[in-house]
């Protein structure tokens, strides 16, 4: 009976040893790799979270910059919405030139979000300084006007004949 008891104890110990080896194999095959995977995913999450915070801060800063720009450049932004009136422009140009004539051109088709109309203008000035004052004053005009090159200056008697092309921009709606 003592032999039978020691045999059953040895069998029991072998079963426990086999069970422990089985548990150890399961641990090594399934749990440890998933712990490594968990650590890798946790590291990725930390990276993505920090990048998200950084990009969110950039977005907030850009939003603030856009609002600041809108406040500082409100007049310029409204100029894109304003209509170009040929007689109003002639009246504006007469502060700097005499005998102002504006000929309408065509609508320039482009892939931008703005409509561009082309015009040609001819006028007379006493000095070239009047032309420079006119170009500077275009910044304060209620529409966006771009003077295109070439600007032709011809001296006739006491006046300078000035011919130039210009583009007027308006926001597409």
Q: Where are the domains of the chain?
A: 1-72, 82-171
Q: Rounded to an integer, what distance in angstroms lies between the CA atom of residue 123 and that of residue 140?
A: 20
- State the fold for domain 82-171: Alpha-Beta Plaits (3.30.70)
Q: Residue 47 has what pLDDT?
A: 93
Q: Rounded to an integer, what distance in angstroms lies between the CA atom of residue 128 and that of residue 155?
A: 10
* Strands in 93-143 per DSSP E: 98-108, 114-125
- Decide: 172 and 113 in contact? Cβ < 8 Å: yes
Q: Residue 49 has what pLDDT?
A: 93
Q: Rounded to an integer, what distance in angstroms lies between the CA atom of residue 17 and that of residue 92?
A: 101
Per DSSP, 143 falls in state S
For 62-71, 91-100, 124-133, which range has the lowest pLDDT when averaged over its residues?
91-100
- Decide: 110 and 100 in contact? Cβ < 8 Å: no
Q: Rounded to an integer, what distance in angstroms lies between the CA atom of residue 69 and that of residue 47?
A: 33
Most confident of 5-19, 85-99, 146-160: 5-19
Burial of 10 (0-12, 13-18, 19+ CB in 10 A): exposed
Predicted confidence (pLDDT) per residue in 28-57, tens digit: 787 777 788 888 889 999 999 999 999 999
């Amino acid at each position: 009976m003592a032999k039978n008891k020691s045999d059953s104890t040895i069998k029991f110990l072998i079963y426990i040893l086999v069970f422990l080896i089985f548990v150890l194999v399961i641990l090594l095959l399934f749990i440890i790799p998933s712990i490594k995977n968990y650590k890798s995913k946790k590291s990725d999450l930390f990276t993505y979270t920090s990048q998200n915070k950084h990009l969110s801060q950039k977005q907030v800063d850009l939003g603030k910059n856009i609002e600041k720009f809108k406040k500082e450049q409100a007049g310029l932004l409204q100029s894109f919405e304003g209509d170009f009136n040929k007689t109003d422009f002639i009246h504006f140009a007469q502060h700097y030139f005499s005998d102002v004539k504006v000929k309408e051109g065509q609508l320039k088709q482009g892939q931008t979000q703005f409509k561009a109309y082309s015009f040609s203008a001819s006028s007379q000035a006493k000095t070239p300084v009047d032309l420079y004052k006119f170009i500077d004053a275009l910044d304060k005009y209620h529409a966006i006007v771009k003077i295109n090159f070439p600007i032709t200056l011809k001296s006739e008697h006491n006046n300078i004949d000035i011919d130039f092309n210009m583009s007027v921009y308006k926001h597409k709606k």
